[in-house]
Structure 1
Amino acid sequence: MAKRRQSRSAHKRYISIPHCVLDSTSYADLNGSAIKLLTLIVRQWNGYNNGNLTCTWDQMKPYFGGQDTMRSALKALIKHRLIEVTGTGSTSRKGGLPPVLYAITWESVDEYRGQGQMTTKPTLSPIRNDWNKINDHKISKSPVLKIGANTS
């Protein structure tokens, strides 16, 4: 009997950001550092832990030149409502501050099973559903540019 071959993608994980989010003014107004941070935060989401995502300097140090850059990017994500603070986690470090917990706003908040404190209750629907209402800039449905196209 032949051995069943697994799909190559069976072992790969990936992140997903819906088109409505990418096409929103909230996303368009972000700078490169904020987009990078959003990608790193979304990378933590496994489909069952929204609301339990963290963003600490120890986690993000390899990706950012300084804490101020990371903090500024984090503030931008909160200001543009791409992430929301959901509570505080627990820490096992002596004297360490507990991490702040976040949720991505285009997904529902999951039940928290940690030892910290959630200030946001689990939801059945996404925190934010107004992506299309605030899309006031024109982005084509297919933003791919044709290479070599005459633009004059």
Structure 2
Amino acid sequence: MGRSAKIVVMMLLPIMLSACAAIDDSKPITYTDDRGVSSQPFPKNYRTEVLAFLRTYLNDPVGVRDAVMAEPVERVVGGRQRYVACLRFSPRESDGGYREPRVRGILFVDGRLDRIIENAVEPCAGVAYSPFAELEKMTR
């Protein structure tokens, strides 16, 4: 192969490789079997998963007050059907005091805890809370 042929191949190689790496926009990249707006499975162990998550989420999980939680309900979040468990609590601050209770949404994908929604006013509207004593009794 001559020098000019090698240069042509080297110039065409990136173009050929980019054609192989074309992304199919009809299928978004996801790490779960995301069924979009179709029905999601109910998160069976949601209380246990929420407690385990909050143990790492809260700076100090000891001394939480006024903890209540709503059973997961299906809501559309980000255009997708998801189960959301709503939680309201007052964590102890670093100065030992307490603020007003915080409302958080715990988002589940495919029956597993996915993430927390910091501002959960809309997805948690109209839910029925019940005491969440396990959170108030949590230790380090």
Q: Which has the higher strand share?
A: 2
TM-based fold match above 0.5: no
Q: Which has the higher helix share?
A: 1
Q: Normalising TM by the smaller chain, what interval?
A: under 0.3
With the length of structure 1 as denominator, give the TM-score of the two structures: 0.22
- Flag the structure with larger Rg: 2
With the length of structure 2 as denominator, give the TM-score of the two structures: 0.24
